[in-house]
Amino acid sequence: MLKKEFEFQLKEFVLGLQEYISTEDGQWTIKGFIDVFQNIYTISSDTKIVSKILEIHLFPKIMEFAQKHGYKVVLAEHQNYYPDISFVKSDDTSVKFAVDFKTTYRNPKKSFLCNGFTLGSHGKYFEDRTSTKNIQFPYSEYAGHFCLGIIYDRAKGSSIDETKSHNIEALHSITSVVSNFQFFVTEKWKIASDKSGSGNTANIGSINNIDDIINGRGVFSKLGESWFDDYWMNYEKITISDKNRETKKITSLKDFVDYRKGDSSLIVLKNNRISKK
């Protein structure tokens, strides 16, 4: 019940964020950064830079949310720690929720798709739920693991000149590097893919169909969270024989569900699309 209540509160919270960070025509209200001489320099459209500035922009609102609902905010102590934010109940510190801040951009050619993102590691702290390696609190201490996400459009390259500075009088005429924000809140297992999300590192990949992300329809969404946990704890660790009697490590949910003798009809195959960060 606590998890459902927190999810409801978080979803209600994000409903007002678009107005907070957007102009009337949908552009980001952040136009650049300013020096003491009142020169404005355009922000790079690099996804990591946009993500970090969005996080800073929203932080006062996040603090308001926490105070309103009786939580303390604990930020990740190190850059590579999970999660970005731990919400700890002020009157009962045993109640904790993990919230990762996720941003990604729409595919300019297929607007129903986004670039996707990673959903945290499936390494030490994920396998050993009591571990404190690269995690703020042990994984098992969190009552739920959520993504607070933003999907946006990137400005076309020709409309942004990162080499040019602007006087403050030109502030409103500067094209924002991103626009048309869409917020979502979901438990991370509901939008997970069955493939790694970032090359050689042990990160869980996301699906990339925007409607499926908004509605939490990932490959595990019908199977349940226990299948998500079991699969990613054992990713690339179980060896099976294929039909040619050659051995291979399990890296697909279909193979894993068959190996565990589960119901593979519950795999949401249409969402089996991953994107790398």
Q: Is the dihedral of CA 203, 209, 213, 218 positive or negative?
A: negative
Selection from 187, 274, 266 nearest residue 235 by Cα: 274
Mean pLDDT of the 174-195 span: 95
pLDDT tens profile 206-220: 999 999 999 999 999
| pTM of the model as a whole | 0.90
Predicted pLDDT of residue 200: 61
Using the predicted structure, report yes or no on whether residue 273 has a pLDDT greater than 50: no
**What is the tens place of the pLDDT at every residue in 74-102?**
999 998 899 999 999 999 999 999 999 99
Q: What is the pLDDT of residues 141-180, one digit of tens each?
A: 999 999 999 999 999 865 677 778 899 998 988 889 999 9
What SS3 class is residue 50? helix
Tell me which residue of 60, 33, 35, 271 sits closest to 162, measured CA to CA.
33
The pLDDT score that the predictor gives to residue 271 is 42
Question: Which domains are delineated in the chain?
Answer: 2-216 (3.40.600.10)
